[in-house]
Chains A and B, each alone.
Chain A
Amino acid sequence: MTCLLRLLLILMLPLARPPGAVAAEGGGIAIVLSSNLKPYQEALTGIRDAVHQDISPQLMTDGEPVLSKDTRIVIAVGGKAALHSYPDDVVLIYCLAPGLNLAAKGKRRTIGVETSPPLQTMVSRLKQLQPAMKRLGVIWVSESVEKSLATKDQVKAAVGVEIVSTHLESADDLPKVLRKLKGSVDALWLPPDPQLISRANLATIQSFSWANKIPFYAPTAALAAQGAVAAISSTFEEMGKAAGKAARGVQQGTPVGGTVYPESVHTTVNAAAAKEVGLVIPEAIMIAADKVTQ
């Protein structure tokens, strides 16, 4: 009898957990957000839309996420959520975690949603903005960025733009690298590298760009307002939607690669910055741009 009661208590234990402590799951999917940041909320909307379920997320700011036994898939939104230690038997799908490359780590299956579109797509869009571009300088610190540049030769062949990739040992090397790139590139592209992108570095790059009339392009629409000529990116909702679709693919057993991209690509143009660097963007591109800021 005692054993029976103990078994009953053990079975009821999950019910005794506080409501926020366990991820509200649907179909074995748990959603963990790094914080309540607005981009994460937008991504959550995309996830819910893709999985067709109104799953309540767990916030890392509320404490350690707790997964139920049924959890098979964790969709982590943000770097902090992605870096959390999850059981090895769950599939980790992460988004809005720029600079992270968890695919090669551990035995757990991980699927990363890229913040930027595929390199060729991105460069093609930049080529449309700046038709005279021949050499595109890319500077980065995080190792994870190297993977996204793996197709640069194909891009050169397909788009006609040579990617001049420069790896910085640390962000402190930025001024030296910029001086080195002056005169050798037609434009700069900043990959979504959290180790490189800071307010100070952005200010340095913007001053360099405007002084030397070398357009620089940002990885997110938000950074286009910080002096970049344009940003080729997806919306956070699209990124969440891509994560949700990957989760459904895993649920349904369809093949899903280690890296997925959002389906749509948006172009944000900062007309004032373009004017500062003397770049004349074709009228048709300006009309087709998803957003133009002055």
Chain B
Amino acid sequence: MTLQQKILSFLVPLGLLSAVLTISIFNSAMDATLTQQVVQIARSEAESVSRKLVAGVESRDESRMLRDLQVSQKVAGATHLMVLDGAGLVLAHTNVSETGRRYADPSFQKMMKAGDVHVIDEKGDHPLVLVSAPIWSAQEDRMNEEMLLTGQDTTEGQERMGTVVISVPLQGSLATRVRMIKQLVWIVGMIGAVAILVAIGLIRGILKPVGFLKRGTAQISRGEYGVQIPTFGKDELSELAADFNRMSRNLSETTISKDFMSSVFTHMTEPLIVIGADGLLQMCNGATLRLLGYGENELSGRGAAVLLSADPKAAGEAVNFRPANDVDAEFVTKAGVKIPVVYSCSLLKNNNGETTGSILIARDMTERQRLETAMRRSEKMSAVGQLAAGVAHEINNPLGVILGYAQALVRRLPPADALEAPLRSIEKEAVRCKNLVQDLLTFSRVGKVEREPMDINKSVTAALSLVKAQAKIGQIMVERELAEGLPLILGNPNQIQQVIINLATNAMDALGLAGTISIRTEALEDGPLSWVCLKVSDSGSGIPQDILTRIFEPFFTTKPVGKGTGLGLSLVHEIVKKHSGTIDVQSRPGRTEFCVKFPARRSGASSEVGG
């Protein structure tokens, strides 16, 4: 039930009750007043005629009395008048047929004995008022003494000669009463209707601001802060509306600021972490969650150490609320992977200067470290390349002389000569040095070759003919899966073939005598760039994580001395880089995969796949 209905359900019955009471009281008052008026008129006329009837009663002259009675009947509008003697005998009556009748009922006996009596006779069709007045004998002048002394009329010394009774109908007054009641009911009804309409109008007027307040509150509850409602006048409701508007404005300003701040935090690219005074995480922004792989509410309420456990010292600085700048640390992702970061920590303080927590802003250093490593490797390779070129150039000629003489001497020795073994060893080591020099020369000449549009599948096919021959020595299976319609790349076929051979050779070295080598090519779309991807994988024991970042360094090898020069993968890396490509390696026990990507040319595609 609405407030308006409640008020009306109270007012309407109250109004109806008031109307009924008013009409009832008015009816009673009208009844009493009109009856009293009739009685008063009858009494006045009875008293008046009683004085005139003295002589007639004394002489028992009916006609004389009748004249007076008829005059009074006309004046008072009476139905009849009559004169009774002390015994109730009708001496005269306006209806002459009644003369001589004797009245003995109690009401008439009372009228004949008492001074002024009125009764209401409701026996007939129409109610009547019967009023009696005594008829006293003529008053002596002397008897005014009592009036003079007491202020009251006296009948002292007078004889009651009879009683005059006047009968006046109440019909007229009743009709008047009914008419006035009808008018009153009509007026009360109209007033009631108008009052209800006015009440509804007033209630609506009063409730209108309440309605605005209700709608405004609903809007705020829906988050529509800052909504304003109209104010009317200067009453309490208007003040309430003004207060509501003020509250709404304040709510808008503060809440929108909160949203703004939240938006800022959410869209920050750097991780931001707020730690409470109790050492628990209060807030982590989206960058933090994205970096560490947590869900939206997974970190709230957890200890800060969950992020920084890898470095207790760094975690301590944050949790123990000590300001710090550019602290190197490692965050731990949900999967347990360490991510290098640099963070700054500042303290949160309340208005009293008390520390209530700390704020950490961190930077993900993974990419930077990768770039730095790559730069170091590049510089290192550049130095190695220059050194190798110089050394190889100087060593190559003497080494050729040593190898030539050693081979010539071996050919000239007699069988089972004691010098054969040393000379064979010189020849073997000279050949190994020559190969090394050749690798160094190849390494130093990478950037100096011509490139042309080429189909990488052809290079794979050519390289595999060499690789398969070596694989047949053991039980190594070589699988290939070459994509059709690959785009051409701009490259040097010999160097690309060198890359494939080196990666396959490296894989066979990792497999030992048995295993599977898989060589696949595929086209790759990465945004606006198109790539041709060469993937070489093996089912070996995998590369340990701690050396994974070093495998492309020159002269880095895990093979026994004399088995590898440590230039194979670094040569691959250098060739790929010179071809504007990338090389990534993913390794786990049982599977190692090198992924080499070369930029594809915009037009042109290989038409066939080599087998």
Min CB distance A15 to B, Å, is 33
Min CB distance A192 to B, Å, is 6
Min CB distance A273 to B, Å, is 13
Question: A residues 193-222 with Cβ under 8 Å of B?
Answer: 193-195, 197-199, 219-220, 222
Q: How far is the CA of A223 from the CA of B145 in the complex (A)?
A: 12
- Whether A194 lies near B148 (C-beta < 8 A) is yes
- Whether B142 lies near A194 (C-beta < 8 A) is yes
Question: B residues 133-152 with Cβ under 8 Å of A?
Answer: 141-152
A226 neighbours in B (Cβ, 8 Å): 151
Interface presence of B58 (CB below 8 A): no
What 0/1 readout, one digit per residue, does chain A (55-68) give for beta carbons within 8 Å of chain B? 00000000000000
Minimum CB distance partner of A194 in chain B = B144
Binds B, one of A35-43, A84-92, A157-165: A35-43
B145's partner among A79, A199, A236 (CB-CB below 8 A) is A79
A219 neighbours in B (Cβ, 8 Å): 148
What 0/1 readout, one digit per residue, does chain A (26-49) give for beta carbons within 8 Å of chain B? 000000001101110000000000
Interface presence of A52 (CB below 8 A): no
- Whether B142 lies near A79 (C-beta < 8 A) is yes
B147's partner among A34, A35, A198 (CB-CB below 8 A) is A198
B142 neighbours in A (Cβ, 8 Å): 79-80, 83, 194
Q: How far is the CA of A140 from the CA of B153 in the complex (A)?
A: 20
- Whether B141 lies near A194 (C-beta < 8 A) is yes
Minimum CB distance partner of B141 in chain A = A195
- Whether A223 lies near B156 (C-beta < 8 A) is no
Minimum CB distance partner of B139 in chain A = A198
Label chain B's interface by main secondary structure. Answer: helix
Min CB distance A80 to B, Å, is 7
Q: Report the interface size for chain A: residues with CB under 8 A from the other chain.
A: 27
- Whether B148 lies near A199 (C-beta < 8 A) is no
Q: How far is the CA of A35 from the CA of B157 in the complex (A)?
A: 10
B143 neighbours in A (Cβ, 8 Å): 194
- Whether B150 lies near A197 (C-beta < 8 A) is no
Minimum CB distance partner of A98 in chain B = B148
Interface presence of A96 (CB below 8 A): yes
B149's partner among A193, A195, A220 (CB-CB below 8 A) is A220
A37, A83, A226, most chain B CB atoms within 10 A: A37
B141 neighbours in A (Cβ, 8 Å): 194-195
B144 neighbours in A (Cβ, 8 Å): 194-195, 197-198
Q: How far is the CA of A88 from the CA of B228 in the complex (A)?
A: 114
Interface presence of A99 (CB below 8 A): yes
- Whether B147 lies near A38 (C-beta < 8 A) is no
Given A194-B144, A195-B141, A195-B144, verify A225-B149 contact (CB < 8 Å): no
Min CB distance A85 to B, Å, is 15
Minimum CB distance partner of B144 in chain A = A194
B148 neighbours in A (Cβ, 8 Å): 98, 192-194, 197, 219-220, 222-223
Minimum CB distance partner of A224 in chain B = B151
Given A194-B144, A194-B145, A195-B144, verify A35-B156 contact (CB < 8 Å): yes
Minimum CB distance partner of A197 in chain B = B148
Min CB distance A9 to B, Å, is 38
Min CB distance A200 to B, Å, is 10
Q: Report the interface size for chain B: residues with CB under 8 A from the other chain.
A: 15
Q: How far is the CA of A78 from the CA of B147 in the complex (A)?
A: 12
Min CB distance A103 to B, Å, is 18
Q: How far is the CA of A261 from the CA of B147 in the complex (A)?
A: 21
Q: How far is the CA of A225 from the CA of B149 in the complex (A)?
A: 12
- Whether B147 lies near A97 (C-beta < 8 A) is no
Q: How far is the CA of A216 from the CA of B562 in the complex (A)?
A: 162
Min CB distance B24 to A, Å, is 34
- Whether B149 lies near A199 (C-beta < 8 A) is no
Min CB distance A293 to B, Å, is 11
- Whether B145 lies near A225 (C-beta < 8 A) is no
What 0/1 readout, one digit per residue, does chain A (215-241) give for beta carbons within 8 Å of chain B? 000011011011000000000100000
A35 neighbours in B (Cβ, 8 Å): 156
- Whether B145 lies near A222 (C-beta < 8 A) is no
Question: B residues 103-155 with Cβ under 8 Å of A?
Answer: 141-153
B153's partner among A99, A192, A199 (CB-CB below 8 A) is A199
B146, B148, B157, most chain A CB atoms within 10 A: B148
Minimum CB distance partner of A221 in chain B = B151
A222's partner among B149, B153, B156, B157 (CB-CB below 8 A) is B149
- Whether A197 lies near B147 (C-beta < 8 A) is yes
Min CB distance B116 to A, Å, is 15
- Whether B151 lies near A225 (C-beta < 8 A) is yes
Q: How far is the CA of A70 from the CA of B143 in the complex (A)?
A: 31
B157 neighbours in A (Cβ, 8 Å): 80
- Whether B156 lies near A236 (C-beta < 8 A) is no
Min CB distance A86 to B, Å, is 17
B141, B143, B153, most chain A CB atoms within 10 A: B141
What 0/1 readout, one digit per residue, does chain B (569-610) give for beta carbons within 8 Å of chain A? 000000000000000000000000000000000000000000
A97 neighbours in B (Cβ, 8 Å): 145
A34 neighbours in B (Cβ, 8 Å): 145
Q: How far is the CA of A39 from the CA of B148 in the complex (A)?
A: 11
Min CB distance B147 to A, Å, is 6
Q: How far is the CA of A78 from the CA of B148 in the complex (A)?
A: 11
Q: How far is the CA of A220 from the CA of B151 in the complex (A)?
A: 8
Q: How far is the CA of A194 from the CA of B148 in the complex (A)?
A: 7
- Whether A98 lies near B151 (C-beta < 8 A) is no
B146's partner among A37, A83, A192, A236 (CB-CB below 8 A) is A37
A37 neighbours in B (Cβ, 8 Å): 146, 149-150, 156
B146 neighbours in A (Cβ, 8 Å): 37
Question: A residues 146-204 with Cβ under 8 Å of B?
Answer: 192-195, 197-199
Min CB distance A197 to B, Å, is 5
Q: How far is the CA of A83 from the CA of B150 in the complex (A)?
A: 20
Minimum CB distance partner of B142 in chain A = A79
Q: How far is the CA of A220 from the CA of B141 in the complex (A)?
A: 18
Min CB distance A27 to B, Å, is 28
Minimum CB distance partner of B154 in chain A = A37
Q: How far is the CA of A97 from the CA of B156 in the complex (A)?
A: 15
Min CB distance B50 to A, Å, is 14
Min CB distance B143 to A, Å, is 8
Question: B residues 10-34 with Cβ under 8 Å of A?
Answer: none
Q: How far is the CA of A204 from the CA of B523 in the complex (A)?
A: 138
B145, B151, B153, most chain A CB atoms within 10 A: B145
A222 neighbours in B (Cβ, 8 Å): 148-152
Q: How far is the CA of A197 from the CA of B147 in the complex (A)?
A: 7
A195 neighbours in B (Cβ, 8 Å): 141, 144
A99 neighbours in B (Cβ, 8 Å): 145
Min CB distance B47 to A, Å, is 11
Question: A residues 233-263 with Cβ under 8 Å of B?
Answer: 236
A199 neighbours in B (Cβ, 8 Å): 147, 153
Q: How far is the CA of A195 from the CA of B140 in the complex (A)?
A: 9
A38's partner among B150, B153, B156 (CB-CB below 8 A) is B150
Minimum CB distance partner of A40 in chain B = B149
Minimum CB distance partner of B152 in chain A = A222
- Whether B149 lies near A96 (C-beta < 8 A) is yes
Q: How far is the CA of A220 from the CA of B146 in the complex (A)?
A: 11
Question: A residues 75-127 with Cβ under 8 Å of B?
Answer: 78-80, 83, 96-99
A78 neighbours in B (Cβ, 8 Å): 145
Given A79-B142, A80-B142, A195-B144, verify A39-B149 contact (CB < 8 Å): yes
- Cβ contacts A to B, 26 pairs, < 8 Å: A35-B156, A37-B146, A37-B149, A37-B150, A37-B156, A38-B150, A39-B149, A39-B150, A78-B145, A79-B142, A80-B157, A98-B149, A99-B145, A192-B148, A194-B141, A194-B144, A194-B145, A195-B141, A198-B144, A198-B147, A199-B147, A222-B148, A222-B151, A223-B148, A223-B151, A226-B151
Other than the given A37-B149, A222-B149, 6 more pairs (CB < 8 A) read A96-B145, A197-B144, A198-B144, A199-B153, A222-B150, A223-B151
Residues in A lying within 8 Å of B, measured CB to CB: 34-35, 37-39, 78-80, 83, 96-99, 192-195, 197-199, 219-220, 222-223, 225-226, 236
- Considering the complex of A and B, which 9 residue pairs feature the smallest CB-CB distances, nearest first? A222-B151, A194-B144, A39-B149, A194-B145, A197-B148, A79-B145, A195-B141, A222-B150, A223-B151
